[in-house]
Structure 1
Amino acid sequence: MKLIVCLFGIFCYGECAKILGAFIYPSVSHQSTFQPIWKELSLRGHQVTVITPNPLNDPTLTNLTEIDVSFVYKNPKLRHIINNIKKDDHPLKAHKIIFELFRFIFEEEMQYEPIKRLIENQDKHAYDLLLIQYSYFTDPLLAFLNKFNAPLVGVSSLGLLLHGHDAMGNPTHPVVSPDFMLGLPKRLNIIQKVESLFHNFAYRLFYHWYILPKLDESARKYFGDDMVPLRELHKNVSLVLYNNNRLIHEVRPNVPNVIEINQLHIKKPKPLPEDIQKYLDSSPQGVVYFSFGTNVKSSNLSYTLRKEIIGALAELPYKVIWKWEDDYLPDQPINVLVRKWLPQQDILNHPNVKVFLTQGGLQSIEETINCEVPIVGMPFFTDQPTNIQKIAELGMGLYIEHTTVTKDILKNALLEVAQNKKYKENVVKYKQILVDEPMRGVEKAIWWIEYVMRHNGAAHLRSMAADMTFFEYFMIDVVVFSLIVISLMIYISLKLFSYAKMLLITLSRKLKPARNIVLKIEINKVKKN
C-alpha cells in the first residue's frame, strides 16, 4: 500500500518533495482548512514537516512530521486578546488587535525548541517548498524564505487583507472589491464609497508605517538582523490559495497566481457517538444545533446574554444540542444537551437537525450549506457579520444582533427558520451552486501546490503589478508628471500672452505720436481750406 501511495506521488509531481509548512494560529476552525492539505501531500509521497497547534497525530501518515505548538492554547493572554475584538470596532482598531494577537502567537511559538532547531538549520536546500499561513498578519513566517531557497505558497482560511492583495498585484478597487473587514453591502451608497476609498488609503498607511515595521522587528528577533526585510520577502511569494465562498463573498478579479479554494475541510459523514445518535434519532420533531465555534466560547458569554439564550431554548418545541465548553451549564433547560466538543459536520448531516445557531464563521457556513441546514446567525467579530448578512440576503437564514437579542427575538427567529420551508429550499438551491466545480477542495489546492513545484516557483504567473511601487500602481507618477507638463504649458502660455500684451502696448505707444502728427496735419489742412 505504501508503495502505491509513493508511486502515485511520483506520478503527480515527478519526485517526492520535502515540504515545510507553518500554520501557527491556534483555532480549530482555521486549522481544519489547512490539515487536509498537509495530509494529502504526505499521502502523495511528499516528506512534510509542519508547525501546527492542531496536529493530526495519525500514525499511518509515515511521511508527516508535526511540530506540536498546542501549548499556545493554554496561554491566558491569547483569550484576553481575542476577547478584546468587538463587532462594532472601527476596522483599523480591529486590525490593531488582530495584529497584536498574531505577533504574540508568532513570538510564543518561535521560542519553542524544535522550531529554534528548524531555524538554525544551515542547509539552504533542506526543503523544496514552503507552505505558510497567509492570513491576517502572519508576515513574519515569510522569514523562512530567508533560511531556505525554495518557492513559497501562502494559504489563507478566509479572504486576504489589502496588503495581501497588494503583495500579489491583485486589484483592490475600493468600490468593486472593498475590504471584507468593512462589512459593506454589494451596492454601495455614496457615503460607503467614500468610506471604502479612505479606508484603502488609511489601511495602507497604518500597515506600512506601523504594523509591518513591528512585524519585521519580531521576525529579526528569531531569524537574525541580517534577514531580508519582510517588505522584500513579500515579493517572493509564488502563489496564494485563499478560502473563498462564491455565495458569501463578492465576485472579484484575481491575478493568475491568486487561486480561490473552498470546502477543503468538508468530510464524508462518519458514525456519530452512540449517545448523540440516540438523542438525534429520538427527536423526530426536530433538533436545534448550537455552536459558536472555537474563537467565541459559549462559556465566556455574559450572564445577560446567556440568560436570554437559555430562556429562548427552553421554550422551543425542539431538542437542542449545545457546544458548551464548561463542565456545568447554569439553569440548563431539560430539552438541552451540552457537550464540550461535538462532531459538527456529522451532527449537521443528521436529517432531524432543522436549524444551526452559529456565530457565522466561514468554515461553519460551508459545513451547514453542504449539509443543507438553514441558519440563525449571531455574529461577534471579523468577517462573521458580513457572512451572516449575506446568508440573510440569500434567504438561507436570519441575522440576530447579540448586543440587542432577547429571549423572544431568538425564539421567534429559530422557530421561523425551522418551520418556514423557504430557508431549507434556498440552502438546497445554493448548495448546488457551491459544489458545482471542475475541481473541489483539496484536489484543487494540491494541484496548484504541485504546479508551483513543477515549475520552480511559477514566476510566469506573477503580475508586474506586484513589483510596482504604490505611486507607480496608482499612476501617481503619471498624474504628477502630467500636472507638471500641463502647469508648464499654462505657465508658458501665460508668459507668451503677457509678452504679446506688453509688445502690443509698446507698439501702441510708439504709434500714438505718429497718429497725433497725422491728425494735426489733417486739422491744419481743414483750417486752411
Structure 2
Amino acid sequence: MRIIFAMVCFHIVFLACCVLGAVNSSSRILGIFPTPSISHQLVFCSLMENLAKRGHHVVTMTPNPKIYKEKIPTLTKIDVEEISYTEWNKKFDFIKIHESDTTPTELIRLFYTVMSSIIEMQMNTPAMQKLLNDPSERFDLCFFEALAPHINPIKDRFNCSLILISSLSGSLQDFDSFGNPSNPVLYPDFTALYLGDLDFWQRLHLTYLDIRYRFMYYFQLVPLLDNNAKKMFGESVRSVDKIQKEADMLFLNVHPLLGGIRPTVPGIVYMGSMHIRPIKPLPSDLQKILDDAKNGVVYLSLGSNVKSAQLSQVKINAFLEAFKELPYTVLWKWENETLPGKPANVHISKWLPQQDVLAHPNIKAFITQGGQQSMEEAIHHKVPLIGMPFLGDQDLNVRKMVKFGIGTDMNLYTLSKEIIVNSIKKVVEDPSYRENISKLSNLLTDQPQTSMERAVWWTEYVLRHKGAKHLRAPGTKVPAYQYFLLDIIAFVLVCAVVAIYIIVKISCEIHKRFIRKPDKPKKS
C-alpha cells in the first residue's frame, strides 16, 4: 500500500509540475523588428525561434521572414519584406553615403527619418492593422528593436512588459533611458571617432559630439518620432521617449569587451554572439572549392547592406589585380551574375553561408566591412580580419580589430592593389594575428551560460515577475540638471562668488581704515 500511495503522490506532483510548466510556457510574446537589414534580423530571429521552441506563443513582424528556417507551431511571422526593402534600397546607397563624407550625426538623422516612413508603411499593412485593432488580442511581453523607438506606443496598446533589444551595442539614448552612467570620454558612443588613450583635443571633440548628439536626438528627432507615432497610433499616444524610459530591460548583442567596458545597471544585459549557430554542411560545390584550396582561402564579403558590385570600377580593378597576384583562392560575395576580368583563383556568389564558410579550416583571412555580427563570427571561428569600414559602428569596430591585434585595416579612399596585397599577406603570414584572435575567442566564450541561454532566462524572468521595474536605476526618475548635478554646481559657484565678494569688501574696508597711511599735508 505504501508503494502504491507513494506512486500516486509522485504522479500527482509530476502532473502538477507539468501543468505549472505549461502555464509558464504559454506566455504570448510580440516581437517587432522593423530595420530591413538581414544581419540585424538574424539576431532577433534566433531569439524568437528559441522562445517559440520553449512553448511560448510568439508573433513577430520581420522584413526577412525567409531566415526563419524552422517550422514551429507556436511561431507566427508577419511578412513586411517587400515594402521595407523597396523603400530602404531607394533611400540608402551606403557606398555613396560613405564617399560623401556624411558625419555620424547626419547619418543617424537620415536613418531615423527614413525609418519613420518605412515603419509607417509596415504598420499600415493589413496584417499589422488586424493585430493592432483586434480588441481580443493580448500579449504578456513585447520585444522592440532599440533602433526603432517609433513603435514604442504599441506597448501601451497591449499594456504589457517591454524588452528593448539591439543587434549592436547601445546608443546614448538607450543607456540614458535606463539611467546608466554616462561619460563621453570613458564610455563613448559606438559611433565615436577615437579609441585608446586620448589627448586633450580628442577628449574635447568627443565631449562636443556627445552634446551635439543629445541635442539633435532629444530636441529634433524625438519631436519627429512623436509626430510620426501620432500619425500611426492616434493623437493621444504618449511620447516615445517617455515609454522608452519605462522599458523593463535592454538586451545588447555584444560582448562587453567588444562593446566597450562600462558600468551597467542591472536592467542592461550583454549577450554577444546570440546569432552564432551550430555549423551546417556546405553545398557540395562550395565544399569542393574550399577543400581544394591548397594555399588557403581569402573570404571577401561587405555584408548585407554594402554591395561589392556597387564599388567604383577603379576599386574593383584594384581587388582583381591584387587577387591575381596572390597564391590564395578567393571567395567573394558578389551581387551580380558575372565579374568581368575575374582571375581563375576567384570564385563569386550572390550569397554565401558565412558562418559555415568561416568555420572551414582553409580560411586564412576575412575581408569585411566591419559589421558587428561579421566581426563576432570571425572571432568565434578564429579567422584574422581585414576591415574596410563604410558607416555607423563599422569604423570603431575596425579600430578595435587593430587594437586587439586580430586584424588590420584598409581605407576605401586610398585603396590600391599594393595595399590589398600587403594587408592580406600581413594577416595571413604573421602568426600573431591568428594567435591573438584565438585568445580573444577563448575570452569571449568563457562564460557560465551561452548568450542564448542568458537571453532566454532573462526573458522568462521578466515574464515570471510581470516586468523588471525593480531593477531600474534611480537615474531615470530625475531630470538632466539634477542627474549632472548642475543645480548643486550652480549653488556652490554662487556661494563661492558671494563669499569671495564679502571677503574682498571686508579686506578693502580694513585696508582703508587701519592699514593705509594718511596723506601728508601739502606744503604751503
Give me the TM-score of the superposition, normalised by structure 2: 0.90
Deviation at 1:466, TM superposition (A): 1.2
Q: Which residue of 1 aligns with 2:169?
A: 159
Residues 1:18 and 2:28 are matched in the alignment: yes
Question: Is 1:271–1:346's contact at 8 Å kept on the other side of the alignment?
Answer: yes
Residues 1:318 and 2:328 are matched in the alignment: yes
Residues 1:132 and 2:147 are matched in the alignment: no
Change (3 A) 1:77 1:347: closer
Deviation at 1:332, TM superposition (A): 1.6
> Of 207, 210, 213, which residue of structure 2 is paired with 1:203?
213
Change (3 A) 1:355 1:497: closer
Task: Provide the secondary structure at the position in 2 that maps to 1:354.
Answer: strand
Q: Which residue of 2 aligns with 1:517?
A: none
Question: Is 2:256–2:270's contact at 8 Å kept on the other side of the alignment?
Answer: no
Deviation at 1:13, TM superposition (A): 7.8
Question: Is 1:9–1:45's contact at 8 Å kept on the other side of the alignment?
Answer: no
Deviation at 1:279, TM superposition (A): 1.0
Deviation at 1:491, TM superposition (A): 5.5
Residues 1:93 and 2:101 are matched in the alignment: no
For structure 2, list consecutive stretches of 5 or more residues without a partner in the other structure.
1-13, 519-524
For structure 1, list consecutive stretches of 5 or more residues without a partner in the other structure.
510-529
Deviation at 1:8, TM superposition (A): 8.4
Q: Which residue of 2 aligns with 1:414?
A: 424
Residues 1:174 and 2:184 are matched in the alignment: yes
Q: Which residue of 2 aligns with 1:106?
A: 119
> 1:394 & 1:411 partners in 2: Cα distance?
22
AA aligned to 1:107 is E
Deviation at 1:483, TM superposition (A): 3.1
Deviation at 1:72, TM superposition (A): 3.4
> 1:474 & 1:292 partners in 2: Cα distance?
41
Change (3 A) 1:77 1:280: closer
Q: Which residue of 2 aligns with 1:526?
A: none
- Aligned residues with identical type, % of pairs: 35
Deviation at 1:497, TM superposition (A): 7.2
AA aligned to 1:156 is S
Query: Cα deviation per residue 1:238-280 (whole Å; 9 max; x = unaligned)?
Result: 1001122344332111111011111111111111001001111
Task: Provide the secondary structure at the position in 2 that maps to 1:366.
Answer: helix
Q: Which residue of 1 aligns with 2:413?
A: 403
Q: Which residue of 2 aligns with 1:65?
A: 76
Question: Is 2:254–2:273's contact at 8 Å kept on the other side of the alignment?
Answer: no
> 1:497 & 1:433 partners in 2: Cα distance?
64
Query: Cα deviation per residue 1:131-173 (whole Å; 9 max; x = unaligned)?
Result: 01113xx111211122111110000000111111111101111
Question: Is 2:49–2:68's contact at 8 Å kept on the other side of the alignment?
Answer: no
> 1:122 & 1:488 partners in 2: Cα distance?
63
Question: Is 2:272–2:451's contact at 8 Å kept on the other side of the alignment?
Answer: yes
The worse-fitting range, judged by mean Cα deviation, of 83-92 and 23-32 is: 83-92
Change (3 A) 1:13 1:470: farther
- Corresponding pairs, count: 498
Question: Is 1:19–1:131's contact at 8 Å kept on the other side of the alignment?
Answer: yes
Task: Provide the secondary structure at the position in 2 that maps to 1:181.
Answer: coil
> 1:349 & 1:205 partners in 2: Cα distance?
44
CA RMSD of aligned residues (A): 2.4
Residues 1:75 and 2:90 are matched in the alignment: no
Question: Is 1:361–1:383's contact at 8 Å kept on the other side of the alignment?
Answer: yes
Question: Is 1:139–1:230's contact at 8 Å kept on the other side of the alignment?
Answer: yes
Question: Is 1:398–1:417's contact at 8 Å kept on the other side of the alignment?
Answer: yes
Question: Is 1:8–1:45's contact at 8 Å kept on the other side of the alignment?
Answer: no
Q: Which residue of 2 aligns with 1:519?
A: none
> 1:374 & 1:215 partners in 2: Cα distance?
41
> Of 106, 109, 134, which residue of structure 2 is paired with 1:121?
134
> 1:23 & 1:9 partners in 2: Cα distance?
32
Deviation at 1:23, TM superposition (A): 0.8
> 1:166 & 1:12 partners in 2: Cα distance?
37
